[in-house]
């Protein structure tokens, strides 16, 4: 896999003479360029990297060109082509681009102009564009999340069918797990006409997505085990109590190249586990966590935190201390989120330092 291409996350205005903002969709690129004198021009071209590169080569600039576009459904192919040709291109998160309040007119041209002006002002920070191996792993773990979601939906539909028709569900399932014996029992139930047909279709759907999820999980394992870097990163992540194979593979896919990791605070912010803050006076005013980033990843890490406090005495003590300092109706939620933030910091440490986490023995009284 080609992992040699590294995208920029910042562009210094002094390094460029031309600032290009792009609004990219499936068919076209709306482009606005601004030079150092503030002269602007907008144009539209087909969504074709070669056409864009041809236009860039015709521009007479001294210090260089800075380009930017928002991350979206078109992916990172355009950024790859520009970076490979020697241009500096930022890919920014749409939520991080400042927007003036009260603006009710939005077009592709205006969006590209906004990006170009903000790039010229040095106010944009790009995301880290994942390399090819991490993009492929992301596709697989995302597919598995979709399939697991469909399994859960099929179970809900079956239970709703029973409830709606006044039927008793055969047994109570612990933790939402349905063993094969339960599915066989559901198939053997005597249901009249259309009800029996619908139940059979829902059970077919359930078993299909369970099979698909298991197949995808096998594909993830094969991919990870065939790549030394991925295999090593997943192994290191799994050394942390509370993080198993599924969480580790998903986290490694979403975090990407460990070489680009900075601080543990950045990792916690990436998970959306840092408190929001609106401090305009002398006293800090902090609120609930920001909840930025991938909600599935954050949910998985919080779920892993419950397991971690059962396996790690240090985290268990931390949970109790945090619990005791908050009102009872909020204490458990606040404390477990704090534990999840510690897990995020540990994940940063093991990936960055490339060493397994060592659980500390509980100190004797």
Structure confidence at residue 3 (pLDDT): 57
Per-residue pLDDT, 62 = 66
What tokens does 211 get? Answer: 């099979």
pLDDT band at 63 (very low <50, low <70, confident <90, very high): confident
Task: Give residue-wise pLDDT tens across range 166-208.
Answer: 888 887 667 778 989 999 999 998 888 899 999 999 999 999 9
Whole-number pLDDT of residue 10: 86
Q: What is the mean pLDDT of residues 72-79?
A: 92
Q: Please write the tens of the pLDDT for every residue from 19-49.
A: 999 999 999 999 999 998 889 999 999 999 9
In this predicted structure, what is the pLDDT of residue 248? Answer: 96
DSSP H helical segments within the chain, as ranges? 49-57, 77-84, 108-120, 132-164, 180-187, 193-225, 228-238, 245-255, 264-270, 295-311, 313-324, 328-353
The H or E element containing residue 29 is: strand 28-35
Tell me the pLDDT tens digit for each residue of 211-249. Answer: 999 999 999 999 999 999 999 999 999 999 999 999 999
Q: Is the pLDDT of residue 120 over 70?
A: yes
Question: Phi/psi of residue 104, each to 5°?
Answer: -115, 5
Reported as a single tens digit per residue, the pLDDT across 253-306 is 999 999 888 888 889 988 999 888 766 666 676 778 888 888 999 999 999 999
Higher pLDDT, 176 or 315: 315
pLDDT for 361 equals 64
Per-residue pLDDT, 285: 66
Q: Is residue 101 very low, low, confident or very high in pLDDT (cuts 50, 70, 90)? A: confident
- The 8-class DSSP code of residue 285 comes to -
What's residue 167's pLDDT? 87
Q: Quick one: fold of 13-120?
A: Nucleotidyltransferase; domain 5 (3.30.420)
pLDDT above 90 covers what percent of the chain? 70
Strand ranges for 71-182 from DSSP E? 88-92
> What share of the chain in percent tops pLDDT 70?
94
Tell me which H or E stretch contains 359. none
Residue 147 clears pLDDT 70, i.e. is over it: yes
pLDDT tens digits, one per residue of 348-360: 999 999 999 988 7
Give the DSSP letter string of 248-283: HHHHHHHH--GGG---HHHHHHHTT-SEEE---SSS
Residue 334, pLDDT > 90, answer yes
In 3-state terms the chain splits into helix, strand, coil percentages (rounded to 5) of: 55, 10, 35
Q: What is the mean pLDDT of residues 91-116?
A: 88
Element (H, E) at 246: helix 245-255
Q: Using pLDDT thresholds of 50, 70 and 90, give the confidence band for residue 364.
A: very low
Separation of alpha carbons 168 and 152, rounded Å: 19
Mean pLDDT of the chain: 90
Query: What is the pairing mode between strands 18-24 and 28-35?
Result: antiparallel
Q: What is the CA radius of gyration of the chain?
A: 25
């Amino acid at each position: 896999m080609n992992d040699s291409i590294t995208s920029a996350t910042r562009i210094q205005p002094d390094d460029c003479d031309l600032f290009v903002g792009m609004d990219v969709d499936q068919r076209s690129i709306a482009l606005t360029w601004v030079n150092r004198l503030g002269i602007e021009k907008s144009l539209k071209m087909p969504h074709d990297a070669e056409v864009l590169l041809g236009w860039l080569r015709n521009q007479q600039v001294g210090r260089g060109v800075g380009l930017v576009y928002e991350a979206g459904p078109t992916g990172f192919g355009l950024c790859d082509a520009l970076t490979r040709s020697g241009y500096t291109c930022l890919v920014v998160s749409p939520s991080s681009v400042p927007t003036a309040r009260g603006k009710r007119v939005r077009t592709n041209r205006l969006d590209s102009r906004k990006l170009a002006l903000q790039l010229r002002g040095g106010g944009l920070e790009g995301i880290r564009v994942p390399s090819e191996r991490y993009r492929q792993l992301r596709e697989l773990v995302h597919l598995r999340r979709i399939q697991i979601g469909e399994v859960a939906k099929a179970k809900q539909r079956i239970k709703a069918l029973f409830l709606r028709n006044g039927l008793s569900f055969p047994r109570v399932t612990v933790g939402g797990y349905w063993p094969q014996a339960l599915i066989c029992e559901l198939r053997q139930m005597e249901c009249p006409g259309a009800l029996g047909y619908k139940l059979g279709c829902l059970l077919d759907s359930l078993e299909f997505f369970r099979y698909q999820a298991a197949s995808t999980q096998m594909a993830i394992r094969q991919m990870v085990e065939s790549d030394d870097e991925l295999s090593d990163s997943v192994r290191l992540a799994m050394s942390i109590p509370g993080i198993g194979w599924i969480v580790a593979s998903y986290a490694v896919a979403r975090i990407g190249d460990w070489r680009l990791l900075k601080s543990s605070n950045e990792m916690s912010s990436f998970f959306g586990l840092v408190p929001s803050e609106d401090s305009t006076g002398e006293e800090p005013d902090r609120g609930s966590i920001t909840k930025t980033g991938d909600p599935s990843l954050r949910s998985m890490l919080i779920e892993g935190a419950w397991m971690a406090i059962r396996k790690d005495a240090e985290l268990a003590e931390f949970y109790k201390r945090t619990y005791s300092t908050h009102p009872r109706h909020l204490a458990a939620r606040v404390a477990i989120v704090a534990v999840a933030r510690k897990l995020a910091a540990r994940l940063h440490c093991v990936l960055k330092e490339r060493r397994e986490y060592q659980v500390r023995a509980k100190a004797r009284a």
